[in-house]
Amino acid sequence: MTYCKRCGVRLCDGGESCVLCGSRTQPVPGEAFSDYPVLRYSNRMRSLIRLLALLSVVIVSLSLYIDYRFDSDTIWSFIVLGATIYGWTAFSTRKSLRNYGLMIFIQLIAISLLGYVIDISTGNHGWMLNYCLPFMIIAAQGIIVSMLIVRPMLFRDFLLYEWLIGIMGILSILLMVFDITRVRWPYITVCIYSVLLLVGTSLLADRKTKNELVKRFHI
């Protein structure tokens, strides 16, 4: 790393002349340039993460003890464990998920699994598969469509996940076909809704976007 006295700038590439004024630069002793950023984590953040990890272990262990000690129709340990895994997954991926479409898709999958675990743990009443899942798919597609309208410059990025969730909505009718769920109207609704959105977004997509999607799906 070099330094220009006249301009007061530092050159990471170690150039011998300043890019601003052309003056000869001087080396900066004890400093070197790295191709990768140095990540620094404060001790406070590390302590907080350790504390949360300890609390998670204590809460899950306590729920296991409650299930062992007391007879109940609700398996509390499954609920607590599922919620803990979901919380840590959301916390650990909060910075890596910069694509909102991908974030919505992952949240849809994670919340659906968590809801199914809660439903099974509380007696398997079927409310998750019968009602929550289809309307969560509709809600996820509605959120992405709203983002497409608000931020049309990201149409190509959002469209991929709109189609993935739309295909999921169409395939969800198989739960009704194979008699996994006996409540039919929510799945008929989400199937029709998904088909209409897929057709609408396909008509709005330009040729470049369609070619990009063909490359991603290898079709």
- SS3 state at 38: coil
Which tens digit of pLDDT belongs to each residue from 146-169?
887 887 767 777 888 888 899 999
Report the sign of the C-alpha dihedral through residues 55, 100, 145, 147, in that order. positive
55 CB-contact burial (10 Å; exposed 0-12 / middle 13-18 / buried 19+): exposed
Which positions ≥6 away from 187 have C-beta within 8 Å?
134, 172, 173, 175, 176, 181
* The overall pTM is greater than 0.85: no
For residues 111 and 128, is the Cβ–Cβ distance under 8 A?
no
- Tell me the residue type at 99: N
- Dihedral Cα 148, 218, 193, 139, nearest 10 deg: -50
Per residue in 52-81, pLDDT (tens digit) is 889 999 998 998 888 888 877 778 888 898
